[in-house]
């Protein structure tokens, strides 16, 4: 079967992230309306995101193994269709309990995307372009965040369609994207089978938990804690603490993802050109932590907007492509789905806790500021720990070692 041009694959994966993040951020601007309808406190509002991310995180590790066994494209497409169906029925939910169930279903569907998608894209991308290609695909996240924020605010508050309407609107193109990926994306897993046969399973798992891998997992946990805490609560924070009109919060919150697009591309490109990605990773992590501290501390409205833009430019979405490229450098290609599954699982663990913990402390302290400070502190810890990664550890060296071990054991 004829291979699809890589540019088409990149564009479809870009669209995949657009609708993944649009769905996640439909919820943030309308949390107040949902809370009023069902009489929810801040902890319960945070629970809506926590349930989704718990289901999403739980799918990361099994998805890697399922994708390696049944095919990355097949697993991705089935999950993405489930994600679209869950989005539609989230809008139909008649009670808080049913809504939580539909958000969990949506999370399970979305959970098949990350490991499968980056397994495919990393396999078809030359090493010298990995950071840049990852940044281009990742920019779909920024478009999706902005689209979700703005569309949800517009449909709900400007057009007065109700908080359910955005869920209906986004469900349809989501399913269409799944079908397009199924039709046009092909994987090269068959070419990797020889490598899989050589690498023993016991050794393979160990290769995903070297010191460098573990420190990457810790850093992405710390990075995503602040990112998803901010995505969940930023529009609500702007409404309740900064006095911004509900119809405008989506536009202001979208400054973060829009600023991240040039940041991700620039730093992804730089990561492909420099010998060691380690200094760049540490700099971005420290800068993101500084922005997390600054946002609640700044009282001037104009400076607040600058802080949000800087966080977008230097924060999680700029750090991601560099870390993804770094992981590809230290991991055998036949294990990409699994390593990205563990990577995303580690990050998404934080998203289970961040929305609820932020809401919990907001109820106890009467303020959302503590959540920002906690996020910044965690990211600083992650950056300091990453200093202890080894200077160089090539995947090819790891693979060769495993091959030699396998030959010795067979003999």
Could you give the CA distance from residue 244 to residue 372 in angstroms, rounded to a whole number?
Answer: 18
pLDDT of residue 378: 93
**390 or 20: whose pLDDT is higher?**
20
Rounded average pLDDT over 7-25: 91
Q: Does 220 have pLDDT greater than 90? A: yes
Q: Does 407 have pLDDT greater than 60? A: no
Q: Are 234 and 248 spatial neighbours (Cβ–Cβ below 8 Å)?
A: no
Could you give the CA distance from residue 290 to residue 315 in angstroms, rounded to a whole number?
Answer: 10
Rounded average pLDDT over 364-383: 88
The share of the chain scoring above pLDDT 70, in percent, equals 90
**172 or 49: whose pLDDT is higher?**
172
pLDDT digits 0-9 by tens, 249-303: 777 877 888 888 888 888 888 888 888 899 999 999 999 999 989 888 888 888 8
Q: Does 75 have pLDDT greater than 90? A: yes
pLDDT of residue 199: 46
pLDDT of residue 238: 83
Q: Does 409 have pLDDT greater than 50? A: no
Q: Does 376 have pLDDT greater than 70? A: yes
Could you give the CA distance from residue 131 to residue 103 in angstroms, rounded to a whole number?
Answer: 32
Q: How confident is the model at residue 201 (pLDDT cuts 50, 70, 90)?
A: very low
Could you give the CA distance from residue 54 to residue 49 in angstroms, rounded to a whole number?
Answer: 8
pLDDT of residue 391: 66
Question: 194-198 long-range contacts, Cβ below 8 Å, gap at least 24?
Answer: 195/332, 195/333, 195/334, 195/399, 196/68, 196/334, 198/402, 198/403, 198/406
Q: Does 39 have pLDDT greater than 90? A: yes
pLDDT digits 0-9 by tens, 107-125: 999 999 987 888 788 777 7
Consecutive H or E run containing 272? helix 255-273
**What single string gives the DSSP state of each residue in 369-408?**
HHHHHHHHHHHHHHHHHHTTS-S---HHHHHHHHHHHHHH
pLDDT digits 0-9 by tens, 312-321: 898 887 898 8
**93 or 359: whose pLDDT is higher?**
93
Q: Does 198 have pLDDT greater than 50? A: no
pLDDT digits 0-9 by tens, 243-256: 777 767 777 877 88
Helix, coil or strand: residue 216 = helix
What residues does each domain of the chain span? 6-410
Q: Say which residues have a Cβ less than 8 Å from residue 206's Cβ, sequence separation at least 6.
A: none
Q: Select the CATH number that applies to the domain covering 6-410 from these four: 1.20.1250.20, 2.40.50.140, 3.30.70.250, 3.40.50.300.
A: 1.20.1250.20
Q: Does 202 have pLDDT greater than 60? A: no
């Amino acid at each position: 079967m004829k291979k699809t041009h890589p540019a088409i694959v990149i564009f479809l994966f870009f669209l995949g992230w657009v609708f993944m993040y649009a769905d996640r951020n439909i919820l943030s601007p309308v949390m107040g309306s949902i809370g009023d309808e069902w009489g929810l406190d801040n902890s319960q509002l945070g629970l809506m995101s926590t349930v989704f991310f718990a289901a999403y995180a739980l799918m990361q590790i099994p998805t890697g193994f399922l994708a390696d066994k049944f095919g990355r494209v097949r697993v991705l497409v089935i999950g993405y269709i489930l994600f679209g169906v869950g989005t539609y029925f989230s809008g139909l939910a008649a009670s808080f309990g049913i809504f939580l169930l539909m958000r969990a279903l949506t999370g399970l569907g979305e959970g098949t995307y990350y490991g499968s998608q980056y397994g495919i894209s990393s396999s078809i991308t030359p090493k010298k372009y990995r950071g840049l290609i990852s940044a281009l695909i990742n920019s779909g996240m920024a478009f999706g965040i902005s689209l979700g924020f703005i569309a949800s605010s517009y449909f709900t508050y400007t057009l007065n369609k109700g908080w359910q309407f955005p869920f209906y609107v986004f469900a349809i193109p989501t399913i269409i994207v799944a079908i397009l990926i199924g039709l046009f994306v092909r994987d090269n897993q068959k070419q990797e089978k020889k490598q899989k046969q050589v690498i023993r399973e016991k050794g393979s798992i160990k290769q995903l938990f070297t010191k460098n891998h573990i420190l990457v997992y810790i850093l992405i946990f710390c990075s995503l804690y602040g990112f998803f805490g901010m995505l969940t609560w930023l529009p609500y924070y702007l409404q309740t603490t900064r006095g911004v009109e509900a119809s405008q919060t989506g536009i202001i919150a979208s400054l973060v993802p829009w600023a991240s697009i040039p940041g991700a591309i620039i730093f992804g490109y730089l990561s492909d050109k420099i010998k060691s990605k380690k200094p760049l990773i540490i700099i971005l992590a420290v800068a993101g932590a500084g922005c997390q501290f600054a946002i609640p501390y700044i009282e001037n409205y104009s400076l607040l907007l600058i802080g949000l833009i800087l966080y977008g430019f230097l924060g999680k979405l700029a750090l991601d492509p560099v870390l993804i490229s770094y992981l590809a450098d230290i991991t055998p290609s036949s294990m990409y789905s699994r390593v990205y599954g563990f990577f995303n699982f580690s990050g998404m663990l934080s998203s289970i806790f961040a929305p609820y913990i932020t809401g919990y402390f907001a109820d106890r302290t009467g303020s959302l500021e503590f959540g920002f400070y906690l996020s910044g502190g965690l990211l600083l810890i992650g950056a300091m720990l990453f200093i202890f990664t080894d200077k160089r550890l090539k995947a090819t060296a790891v693979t060769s070692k495993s091959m030699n071990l396998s030959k010795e054991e067979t003999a």
